[in-house]
Chain A
Amino acid sequence: MKSVLISTDLVMKQDGTWTPTEINTNTSHEMVIKNFDSESSEQFIDNFGQYVNHVELNQFLQTNNITTIKTIDVKAGFHRVIESFCKYYSGYTYEFNEVSRDSITVPQVEDGDGVLIIRIAYDSYAVVDDLYARDNYEFHNLIKNETFSSPVTFNIGTEDNLDSITTFEASVDGVAPNYVVKRRTPGGSKGQYPILYRLNSQEQLDNLKLSITQDEFIQKYEFNQLSLIDNRTNFIRSMDLLYGPTLEVFNLLTYKAKNSVSTQNNVLVYDSEVDENGKLNDLFSSKYYPKVVPNYSVSYHFDETDFILMADGTDLQATNLILNQQVKSIYFNEQVMQYQLTDVSNLTTFNIDSASVSSIKEAQSGIFINITGITNTGIEYNWYDGLNNYYLSQKANESTAQYNNTTAGDIEIGDKIFIYNKTTNSIDTITIQSITFDIKNIQTYLISLEVEKREFFVKLLNESDPNEMYLIQHNGGCDANCGYFYSCENWDKCNYCNKNNINCPACNAWISSYVCNSDCRLKENIVSIGKSETGINIYHFNYIGQDGLYEGVMAQELLDTKFEAAVIIGEDGMYKVDYSKLDVKFKKLN
């Protein structure tokens, strides 16, 4: 028996009922998986039990005499939930059929008595996929007469156009958006959609309706204060199996996914919430749309306004930097360079050397951190940097220093950032006075040096300072064995070390450096070998379907602990771990 898994996303309307915003087929989940062990039958309940209707699923399978479940899905996709179910309810044979992420057709999978095929992948030949999941016009046109529908406006250029946003409705609290522009079909550049609006008049609404293209549509932004969880907006995802020739429905699971940014977040600072057309600032919008903001952020070392300190002591405008040029570099001691806590007195000793630029990688768009600080001689500096960059810093009232990530919460007002004073050849400090965030669409660059554990310098600009001050910038270079310096674009090749995926399995579609794929869902043959000094469990494992033995941590185990900040969710939904924030090294053992 064939089935397809569809997910339906719904948001709460003002009257407390829920309205569907879209349906999808190649779908996954937002469940946070803890302590996952692919070999343990009990892990299913721990991770999925409260969401999945597993008792009913087991009954459904028994009733239909199903003994074999075959899934069609991307690697490390939702199918792992089904696989985990099969381990918990022993007696089912499980088979996984992999498709690539960009696949629009599915492989032929043999059906038969006692077999349930679950398609979790897009199939352009299927009407549910190609019509209603792919094209929002078709979906909203389908449901337009139902009481649960919400107003939408399309501009498809024919008499069949759908326009149910007729009367202007103000923001329910004067703050939340009241309209959102989305793409009609998948596509568009990263971060471009949705575009949230807070319109104040019928005239503004009419202008917005005139401005949308055929591949966009307007949806009323449904906001109900009563639906917030932890002050965060959320949506319901219902995941249902449509099975058999008559498309019967079996509800597999439901949950409410919360936005990562609170509506009450007050560290997102911007000049203006809304422009003259009612369009909301991107950063403000992140409070109201449940997307994982860290995915929409970058690490960066320089943009066109920056200067790099070269090996000969001159400053070079960073955009003129080319590969293999020698830049000035700095090395403290092994303890510092491995991101461990160290006494500040250790920073008085360092080696200034030079290193060759091995990579200049372009990046753009995302959340940037803006820092203002003051030197111990009273000179104020202000600069932008990537959200995921690292600084050698000292917490207020502490006597120790450590490399810390700039992600919200790690670098705080009152912390000291260590900088290089070229004039006196010494390490100075800047005390942070303010931190704000901004979303900018600018061209930025990441530098890597060929020598690992060497940092380089980006000039701090303030003409009133008689000293020449430089940020100590983190090297994004790659050492496939240490785990600190991965920065790769795909599974096949590491940008920096140029090694293939066997040597660099941690590489994935992730722009940030120093981050390794540490999601237990990607691993198998997981064996506990002990704990680090700070109590983090260390394991040996291999990546599913790949050769090679590795040593590292399970990202899921760090959640809800003091090490949670080291966990990042990739665009593929898999957890990655920033090993520079842990006292554990990621190692390839063979």
Chain B
Amino acid sequence: MNDNQIVTSDPAVLTEAEKTQVSSVVTTIVQLIKDKHL
């Protein structure tokens, strides 16, 4: 893939560290929703 191509390509996978951090963010968001509404 060169820089001038306008294409869609396979997504990349996350590192374990990134997965852990993203999971923490999502869990926190859901907990905030639960705290307000459950």
Interface residues of A (CB under 8 A from B): 8, 10, 17-20, 23, 30-32, 50-51, 127-128, 132, 142-143, 146, 148, 229-231, 234, 236-238, 240, 242, 246-247, 249, 251, 254-258, 260-262, 264-267, 292-294, 407-409, 564, 569
Contact = CB atoms under 8 A, between A and B. Distances in A.
A255 B8 contact: no
Contacts of B5: 262, 408-409
B30 A247 contact: yes
Given A17-B21, A236-B18, A258-B11, A247 B34 contact: yes
Given A30-B8, A249-B27, A143 B32 contact: yes
Contacts of A294: 6
Contacts of A128: 33
Interface of B: 1-14, 18-19, 21-23, 25-30, 32-34, 36-38
Given A229-B12, A256-B13, 13 more contacts: A8-B29, A18-B21, A20-B26, A31-B11, A32-B11, A143-B28, A148-B28, A242-B30, A247-B30, A251-B26, A254-B14, A257-B11, A265-B3
Nearest to B28: A146
Contact of B33 (A51, A142, A148, A251): A142
B24 to A, nearest CB: 8
B33 A409 contact: no
Central interface residue in B2, B3, B38, by most chain A CB within 10 Å: B3
Contact of B12 (A23, A256, A265): A256
Contacts of A10: 22, 25
A50 B13 contact: yes
B12 A234 contact: yes
A254 B30 CA distance: 17
A430 to B, nearest CB: 22
B34 A23 contact: no
A247 B38 contact: yes
B8 A260 contact: yes
Contacts of A50: 13
| 5 A-B pairs with the lowest CB-CB distances in the bound complex, closest first | A255-B11, A262-B3, A264-B3, A256-B12, A267-B4
A124 to B, nearest CB: 16
A153 to B, nearest CB: 20
A260 B7 contact: yes
A436 B38 CA distance: 55
Contacts of A237: 11
B32 to A, nearest CB: 5
Contact of A127 (B8, B10, B18, B37): B37
27 contacts: A17-B21, A18-B18, A18-B21, A20-B26, A23-B29, A32-B8, A32-B9, A128-B33, A132-B33, A146-B28, A146-B32, A148-B28, A236-B22, A238-B22, A240-B26, A240-B30, A247-B34, A249-B27, A254-B14, A254-B18, A255-B12, A256-B12, A260-B8, A262-B3, A264-B3, A292-B8, A293-B6
- Judged by DSSP, the binding face of A is mixed
Contacts of B36: 142
Contacts of B11: 30-32, 51, 237, 255-258
Nearest to A34: B10
A258 B5 CA distance: 13
A573 to B, nearest CB: 10
Given A20-B25, A249-B27, A265-B3, A142 B32 contact: yes
A127 B33 contact: yes
Central interface residue in A20, A31, A237, A254, by most chain B CB within 10 Å: A254
Nearest to B35: A142
Nearest to A139: B29
A143 B9 contact: no
A142 B36 CA distance: 9
A257 B30 CA distance: 23
A251 B6 contact: no
Given A18-B25, A238-B26, A249-B26, A260 B14 contact: no
A266 B4 contact: yes
Nearest to B34: A247
Contacts of A256: 11-14
Given A262-B3, A264-B3, A408-B6, A18 B22 contact: yes
B13 A260 contact: no
A564 B7 contact: yes
Contacts of B25: 8, 10, 18-20, 148, 238
Nearest to B30: A249
A242 B7 CA distance: 33
A8 B26 contact: yes
Nearest to A264: B3
Central interface residue in B7, B26, B38, by most chain A CB within 10 Å: B7
Contacts of B27: 249
A20 B24 CA distance: 11
Given A238-B23, A247-B34, A254-B22, A51 B28 contact: no
Nearest to B23: A251
A287 to B, nearest CB: 10
Given A242-B30, A254-B22, A408 B4 contact: yes
Contacts of B18: 18, 236, 254
Contacts of A234: 12
A512 to B, nearest CB: 14
A265 B4 contact: yes
A247 B33 contact: yes
Contacts of A17: 21
